[in-house]
């Protein structure tokens, strides 16, 4: 069976498009991990709740897109802050296993909330991305994939710039390096914790809107988080650059495997990669070595 | 613990039950288990069997997570392995029930051992993620290894038959499941009276001291994985005989969260906690179902909210207990007992 | 409640420890720089020195936590430098830690029992049944520990208490108890009396002397309390900045000009401290 070259190119491009969304969600995960050292298993569900809130504004209340998106991000920030304040902070001094299990409980709560409000039915988001397909040379890219890639890339560029130059970003990095030292130079460490969860929730919600507009939304879309999990392990839990590269790679890999081997092999491929990375290089490609001792 | 129990000898102090009161309580529990079927309701019998299956599985996870400190996100997948093993052997070869159950445990233990292997290199929560990966890969195998697992449609399970008696209903299955549960729970209790169990706890409390006193972390982590999976496998096997069909949907990822919740809510690191947790968590959905039925006159579609409300409650229980009562129901029970033991003279 | 039989504790022969040319480096810090240390069987040898001198590092290298850059560790003349930490337990090397390393979730009794782990043999199937050999082994273990360790260190009243709720001094004692349960041939104690009051210190000093006399164990200890060191040791070895600057009897060391200088540059005069009988250096 001859595989056409153009097919490979198109599949790769589509995969990189999905990968950019994984990378964006991965960045949300890394922000939380960097600041609070919490492994957030509920990142996929935070993405899901963002997508549903957007659905609520844009379809439920039929608000225009330019209002729905900012409103969604504000609500997401509030949800993120609420989670941090009520569930995470009381346990931050405990061992990391407890906090990790709290995020497992959070998974279940968020799925329940979405199903309670919107039911378990899959839904479609209102169309808001331009619909004429994009041609790159001879390769044909579905418009939603292409535009969500552009939006995700722009969002990440903004985030990275902010982290590098803005005071809050510096405070976050200082807290990540040494909490005690950060607080002794006057950084509001609890504030940084809250902020990191709010920011991560916003980023995840944005990713959720994009993922939902490409593939629709449902209470099972948190499964996207499984792939994101692989992304951050492969990239290194505390590395934004790692999340970017691993996100694109895993997205590409899943697309290729899905196209040429069958959809059921997607997760198998990613999780096999995950196991290999865990055993060979547990701190990921770009992660800091010390976190292995966690 | 009563104040000032005089102990006859160390043998008594090392006993399974340390005081006469405990022995009496255990006797009463056994009597209750034997007399329970007199209630005559097949609904209650079904529930009792389900509760006991969950007790076995939760005890298994408690050994791994509560006692050894290794979080597993794939416990339900090991139950599925047990269920498929029973369905395969009983369905294909008609092998005896008890043999099938042992095989279910053994196959699950073998796979659990494999899943534990990365613990040579990775620790803590990374290992939890490896268990998640293992669960995903097992799910793939269940779905795609059609000749053995029946693929998407799964396998039907024959009626459990022992000595010519068909255990077709929960009333009868009860007499298979109950003794197995009692034996497995007591075995787990015994485990923690010995060096093996102590080594598990030493690994959980994760100190350099485990190494200094000569405990091989690797060996005991693997052992804990294998034992925990054995319990899950047997529980899954019994589950197969109860529900009579196994499909890739039988043990979804949320089921693993169910067992983690049972361990946390009941009390991680105590055998009685695992029992409390399993009973409590199994009964909550039933209680919700009853409430929904009761609400129908006012909210005709109350039942469609059942699944989401259950998920929310499970999640909130995990979170709430971790924050407010990390030692779980077992600790609440201990406090209550102490309160009443000193009752008229409470301080 | 003492058991009816009162046989003497099992007494494995005291071990001799020889450390030669031991070096250890953390990045740029030379924690140990070619130190020699000879511990005679049945002696109490103290390793002293100002804060950061490398005493704990030496312990960690000897017990196998750190792989030394150079040098050998010999137990009774056998080179054990390459033996992993967990296998040294069986050879009779037992130690305590400067910052207590007990199993916090367990009772005192279970902590002590764990000390004997490497000497027990029962496996997982025996454990499930708690029958036959396993049962016998556990019973013997309990009786021995009660007799040799719990009675000996007077821990009867707390045997079923979780260690996490014990005061600091008692935790140190439980750590000693766990080390004793290992049937050590050489016992390494890292600051056994740090943070203790006068009475607790004397109690611990007596316990150490008793261990040596009754069990015939070699003791190597790190301690800042000069009064205690001078009182109970047969031999003292002084480290400073990772180097050995003196070794000899307590009297010799006390009058060694290098030692006096090291300590004066540090936090006090060992002679004065010893005379006052007060703790010297940091107490943490
Ligand atoms: N794990 C480590 N990583 C880096 N440096 C270390 C480490 N352990 C010890 N050091 C350094 O090695 C030197 C010796 O430390 P060590 O703990 O052995 O001193 P010590 O004599 O035990 O002091 P103290 O009396 O304070 O316990 C110190 O400079 C210390 O900072
Ligand atoms: Mg030290």
The whole-model pTM stands at 0.89
Return d(Cα A48, Cα A59) in angstroms, integer.
16
Mean local confidence (pLDDT), C5-11 = 52
Interface residue of B74, B77, B124 to substitute, partner A, most A CBs within 10 Å: B124
Identify which of B13, B199, B201 has the shortest CB distance to residue C105: B201
> Is the pLDDT at B346 greater than 60, yes or no?
no
Tokens of A220: 């099972």
The answer to whether the CB of B332 falls within 8 A of the CB of A119 is no
The span from the CA of B18 to the CA of B15, in Å, is 6
Query: What is the band of B66 on the pLDDT scale with cuts at 50, 70, 90?
Result: very high
Q: Is residue C250 part of a domain?
A: yes
Q: CATH number for the domain including C86?
A: 3.40.50.300
Is C171 part of a structural domain of the chain? no
Please tell me the residue having the least CA distance from ligand 1 atom 24. C51
Residue C55 Cα to ligand 2 midpoint, Å, equals 5
Distance from CA of A214 to the nearest CA of B (A): 24
Give the Cα separation of A41 and A83 in Å (integer): 13
Do B and C touch, 3+ Cβ pairs within 8 Å? The answer is yes
Residue of minimum CA distance from atom 8 in ligand 1: C57
Q: CB contacts < 8 Å between A and B, how many? A: 133
* Run of H or E residues at C222: strand C218-222
Check residues A15 and A3 and name the one with the higher pLDDT: A15
User: How near does any CA of chain A get to the CA of B175, in Å?
Assistant: 34
**Can chain B be said to touch chain A, i.e. do they have 3 or more Cβ pairs within 8 angstroms?**
yes
**Pocket residue to mutate for ligand 1, from C26, C96, C99, C266, most atoms within 8 A of Cβ:** C26
* Residue A81 belongs to a domain: yes
Decide which of B294 and B191 is more confident.
B191
CB contact under 8 A, B195 and C90: no
Mean pLDDT confidence for B17-28: 83
CB C183 within 8 A of CB C49: no
Question: Has residue A69 been placed in a domain?
Answer: yes
At A29 the pLDDT is 95
The DSSP line for C105-159 is TSBHHHHHHHHTGGG----HHHHHHT-THHHHHHHHHHHHIIIIIIHHHT-GGGT
- Average pLDDT over every residue of C205-217: 90
- ipTM exceeds 0.85: yes
Q: How far is A267 from chain B (nearest CA, A)?
A: 7
CA of C110 to the centre of ligand 1 (A): 31
pLDDT of residue C272: 45
Low-confidence winner among A91-100, A101-110, C39-48 (lowest mean pLDDT): A91-100
Cα nearest neighbour of C87 on chain B: B214
Residues 6 or more apart whose CB falls under 8 angstroms from that of C133 comprise C121, C122, C126
In a domain, C261, yes or no: yes
Ligand 1 atom nearest the C-alpha of C53 is: 21
Q: What are phi and psi of C35, to 5 degrees?
A: -90, 150
What tokens does A226 get?
Answer: 């499984």
Helical (H) or strand (E) element with A136: strand A134-136
The encoded tokens of residue C80 equal: 């054990």
The protein residue whose alpha carbon is closest to atom 1 in ligand 1 is C26
Average pLDDT over residues A77-89: 95
Return the best residue to mutate from C24, C28, C29, C69 for the ligand 1 pocket (most ligand atoms within 8 A of CB): C29
Confidence of residue C216 (pLDDT cuts 50, 70, 90): confident
- Give pLDDT, residue A2: 61
**pLDDT category of residue A36 using cuts at 50, 70 and 90:** confident
The confidence band for B342, taking pLDDT boundaries of 50, 70 and 90, is low
Using beta carbons and an 8 Å cutoff, which residues of A are at the interface with B? 39, 87, 90-91, 94, 96-98, 100-102, 104-116, 119-120, 226, 229, 233, 264-265, 267-268, 271-272, 274-275, 278-279, 282, 292-294
Alpha carbons C172 and C227: distance in angstroms, whole number: 19
Say which residue, B17 or C56, is predicted with more confidence.
Answer: C56
Q: How far is the CA of C111 from the centre of ligand 1 (A)?
A: 27
Going by C-alpha positions, the residue among C61, C50, C51, C53 that lies closest to residue C24 is C61
Kindly list the protein residues that place their beta carbon closer than 5 angstroms to ligand 2, a single-atom ion.
Answer: C 56, 98
Whether residue A160 lies inside any domain: the answer is: yes
The H or E element spanning position C87 is helix C85-88
Note the pLDDT of residue B104: 97
The domains located in chain B, with CATH, are 40-342 (1.10.3470)
Q: Is the pLDDT of residue C158 over 80?
A: yes
In a domain, A287, yes or no: no
- Name the least confident of A67-71, B263-267, B306-310: B306-310
Report yes or no on A292 lying in a domain: no
Quick one: which of C43, C39, C48, C18 has its CA closest to C222?
C48
Condensed to tens digits (0 to 9), the pLDDT of residues C225-250 reads: 888 888 899 999 999 998 998 888 98
Task: Give the number of the atom of ligand 1 that is nearest the alpha carbon of residue C191.
Answer: 27
Compute, in angstroms, the gap from residue C2 CA to the centroid of ligand 2.
37
Confidence band, pLDDT 50/70/90 cuts, at residue B141: very high
Tell me how close the Cα of A103 comes to any Cα of chain B, in angstroms.
8
What is the per-residue pLDDT for C11?
Answer: 66
Average of per-residue pLDDT across B88-95: 93
Distance from Cα B315 to the centre of ligand 1, integer Å: 45
Alpha carbon distances (Å) from A259 to A255, B98, C71: 6, 45, 59
Q: Tell me if A111 and B130 make a contact (CB, 8 A cut-off).
A: no
What total number of domains does chain C contain? 1
**Does B4 lie at the interface with C, CB-CB under 8 angstroms?**
no
Separation of CA C58 and ligand 1 centre (Å): 9
**Nearest-by-Cβ selection for B214 from C110, C117, C139:** C117
Q: How far is the CA of C55 from the centre of ligand 1 (A)?
A: 8
Q: Which secondary structure element, helix H or strand E, spans residue C178, and what is its range?
A: helix C168-181
pLDDT at B2 over 70: no
Inter-chain residue contact B209 with C143, CB threshold 8 Å = no
Domain that residue A175 falls in: 5-280
**CB distance from B205 to chain C under 8 Å?**
yes
Widest CA span of chain A, in angstroms?
65
**pLDDT reported for residue A290:** 55
Residue A284: pLDDT band with limits 50, 70, 90: confident
Mean pLDDT in residue range A22-35: 93
How many interface pairs between B and C have CB atoms less than 8 angstroms apart?
Answer: 112
Mean pLDDT of B196-207: 88
Q: Which is higher by pLDDT, C267 or B229?
A: B229
CB C24 within 8 A of CB C61: yes
Average pLDDT for chain C? 84
**Average pLDDT of the residues in A58-65:** 90
Q: CB distance from C100 to chain B under 8 Å?
A: no
The pLDDT value given to residue C218? 94
**Residue C267 maps to a domain:** yes
At C108-156, the pLDDT tens digits run 999 999 988 888 888 888 889 888 888 888 888 898 888 888 988 889 8
Of all residues in chain C, what percent carry a pLDDT higher than 90? 38
| Model pLDDT, residue B49 | 96
The answer to whether residue C108 is domain-embedded is no
Contact B190 C130 (CB under 8 A): yes
Nearest CA in chain B to A282: B122
**Across all residues in chain B, what is the average pLDDT?**
89
B121 to A282: CB separation less than 8 angstroms, yes or no: yes
Residue B108, pLDDT above cutoff 70: yes
Q: Which of these, C86, A292, C170, C165, lies nearest to B202 by C-alpha position? A: C86
pLDDT band at C9 (very low <50, low <70, confident <90, very high): low
Which ligand is closest to the CA of C60, given by its number?
1
Which residue did the predictor score with more confidence, C113 or C99? C113
User: Is residue A285 situated within a structural domain?
Assistant: no
CATH assignment at residue A206: 1.10.3470
**What separation in Å is there between the alpha carbon of C85 and the centre of ligand 2?**
18
The size of chain B, in residues, is 347
Measured in degrees and rounded to the nearest 5, phi and psi for residue B328 equal 75, -170
Highest-confidence segment of B234-243, B294-303, C249-258: B234-243
B115–chain C Cβ distance below 8 A for any pair: no
Higher pLDDT, A169 or B71: B71
Quick check: is C284 in a domain?
no
Residue-level pLDDT at C278? 39
Judged against a pLDDT cut of 90, whether residue B147 lies above it is answered with: yes
**Is B293 or B54 the better-scoring residue by pLDDT?**
B54
Picking from B129, B285, B304, B305 by the largest number of A CB atoms within 10 A of its own CB, the best residue to mutate is B129
Which residues' Cβ are closer than 6 Å to ligand 1?
C 26, 29, 31, 49, 51-57, 98
Ligand nearest to the CA of C240: 1
Say yes or no to pLDDT of B270 above 50.
yes
Report CB contact under 8 Å: A87, B137.
no
Q: How many H helices and E strands in chain A?
A: 11, 2
Give the strand order in the sheet containing C243-248: C93-95, C186-190, C218-222, C44-48, C235-240, C243-248
Report how far residue C259's alpha carbon sits from residue C257's, in angstroms, rounded to the nearest whole number.
5
Q: What is the number of structural domains in chain A?
A: 1
Please report which confidence band the pLDDT of residue A110 belongs to, taking 50, 70 and 90 as the band edges: very high
């Amino acid at each position: 069976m001859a595989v056409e070259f153009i097919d490979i190119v198109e599949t790769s491009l589509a995969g990189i498009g999905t990968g950019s969304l994984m990378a964006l969600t991965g960045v949300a995960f890394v922000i939380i991990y960097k600041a609070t050292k919490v492994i957030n298993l509920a990142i996929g569900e935070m993405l899901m709740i963002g997508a549903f809130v957007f659905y609520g504004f844009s379809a439920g209340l039929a608000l225009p897109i330019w209002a729905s998106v900012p409103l969604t991000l504000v609500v997401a920030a509030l949800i993120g802050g609420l989670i941090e304040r009520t569930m995470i902070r009381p346990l931050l001094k405990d061992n990391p296993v407890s906090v990790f299990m709290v995020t497992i409980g959070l998974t279940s709560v968020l799925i329940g909330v979405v199903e309670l409000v919107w039911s378990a039915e899959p839904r479609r988001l209102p169309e808001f991305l331009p619909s004429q397909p994009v041609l790159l040379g001879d390769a044909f890219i579905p418009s939603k994939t292409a535009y969500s890639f552009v939006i995700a890339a722009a969002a990440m560029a903004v985030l990275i710039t902010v982290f590098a130059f803005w005071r809050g970003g510096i405070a976050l990095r200082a807290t990540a390096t040494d909490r005690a030292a950060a607080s002794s130079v006057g950084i509001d460490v609890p504030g940084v914790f809250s902020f990191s969860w709010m920011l991560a929730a916003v980023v995840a919600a944005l990713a959720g809107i994009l993922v939902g507009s490409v593939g629709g939304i449902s209470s099972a879309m948190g499964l996207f988080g499984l792939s994101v999990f692989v992304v951050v392990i492969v990239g290194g839990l505390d590395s934004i650059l790692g999340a970017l590269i691993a996100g694109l790679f895993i997205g590409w890999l899943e697309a290729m495997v899905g196209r040429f081997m069958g959809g059921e092999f997607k997760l198998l491929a990613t999780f096999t990669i995950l196991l290999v990375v865990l055993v060979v290089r547990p701190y990921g490609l770009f992660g800091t070595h010390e976190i292995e001792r966690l | 613990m009563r104040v000032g129990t005089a102990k006859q000898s160390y043998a008594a102090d090392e006993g399974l039950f340390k005081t006469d009161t405990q022995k009496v309580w255990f006797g009463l529990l056994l009597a209750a288990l034997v007399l329970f079927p007199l209630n005559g309701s097949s609904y209650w019998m079904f529930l009792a069997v389900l509760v006991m299956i969950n007790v076995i599985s939760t005890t298994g996870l408690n050994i791994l997570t509560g006692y050894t400190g290794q979080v597993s996100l794939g416990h339900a997948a090991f139950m599925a392995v047990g269920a498929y093993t029973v369905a395969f052997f009983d369905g294909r070869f008609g092998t005896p029930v008890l043999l099938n159950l042992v095989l279910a445990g053994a196959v699950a233990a073998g796979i659990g051992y494999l899943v534990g292997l990365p613990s040579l290199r990775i620790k803590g929560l990374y290992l939890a993620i490896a268990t998640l990966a293992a669960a995903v890969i097992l799910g793939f195998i269940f779905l795609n290894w059609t000749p053995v697992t029946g693929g998407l449609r799964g396998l039907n399970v024959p009626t459990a038959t022992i000595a010519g008696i068909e255990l077709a209903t929960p009333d009868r299955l009860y007499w298979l499941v109950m003794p197995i549960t009692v034996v497995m729970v007591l075995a787990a209790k015994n485990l923690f009276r010995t060096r093996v169990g102590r080594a598990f706890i030493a690994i959980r409390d994760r100190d350099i001291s485990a190494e200094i006193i000569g405990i091989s972390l690797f060996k005991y982590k693997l052992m804990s994985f294998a034992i925990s999976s054995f319990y899950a496998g047997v529980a899954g096997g019994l589950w197969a005989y109860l529900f009579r069909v196994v499909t890739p949907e039988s043990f979804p990822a949320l089921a693993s969260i169910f067992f983690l919740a049972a361990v946390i809510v009941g009390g991680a690191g105590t055998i009685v906690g695992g029992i409390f947790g399993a009973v409590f968590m199994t009964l909550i959905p039933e209680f919700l179902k009853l409430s929904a039925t009761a609400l129908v006159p006012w909210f005709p579609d109350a039942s469609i909210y059942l699944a989401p409300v259950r998920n929310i409650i499970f999640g909130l229980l995990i979170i709430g207990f971790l924050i407010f009562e990390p030692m779980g129901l077992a600790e609440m029970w201990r406090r209550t007992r102490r309160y009443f033991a000193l009752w008229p003279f409470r301080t | 409640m003492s058991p009816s039989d009162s046989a003497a504790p099992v007494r494995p022969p005291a071990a001799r420890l020889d450390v030669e040319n031991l070096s250890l480096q953390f990045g740029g810090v030379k924690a140990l720089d070619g130190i020699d240390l000879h511990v005679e069987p049945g002696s109490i040898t103290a390793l002293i020195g100002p804060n950061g001198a490398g005493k704990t590092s030496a312990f960690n290298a000897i017990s196998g936590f750190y792989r030394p850059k150079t040098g050998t560790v010999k137990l009774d003349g056998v080179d054990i430098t390459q033996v992993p930490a967990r296998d040294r337990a069986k050879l009779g090397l037992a130690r305590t830690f400067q910052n207590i390393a007990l199993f916090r979730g367990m009772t005192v009794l279970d902590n002590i029992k764990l000390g004997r782990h490497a000497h027990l043999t029962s496996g997982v199937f025996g454990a499930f049944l708690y029958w036959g050999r396993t049962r016998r082994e556990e019973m013997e273990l309990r009786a021995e520990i009660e007799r040799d360790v719990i009675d000996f260190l007077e821990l009867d009243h707390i045997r079923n208490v979780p260690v996490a709720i014990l005061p600091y001094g008692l935790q140190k004692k439980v750590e000693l108890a766990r080390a004793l349960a290992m049937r050590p041939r050489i016992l390494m104690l890292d600051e056994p009396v740090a943070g203790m009051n006068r009475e607790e210190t004397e109690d611990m000093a007596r316990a150490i002397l008793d261990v040596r006399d009754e069990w015939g164990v070699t003791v190597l200890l790190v301690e800042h309390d000069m009064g205690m060191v001078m009182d109970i040791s047969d031999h003292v070895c002084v480290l400073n900045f990772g180097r050995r600057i003196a070794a000899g009897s307590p009297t010799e060391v006390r009058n060694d000009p290098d030692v006096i200088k090291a300590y004066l540059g540090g936090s006090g005069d060992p002679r004065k401290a010893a005379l006052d009988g007060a703790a010297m250096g940091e107490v943490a």
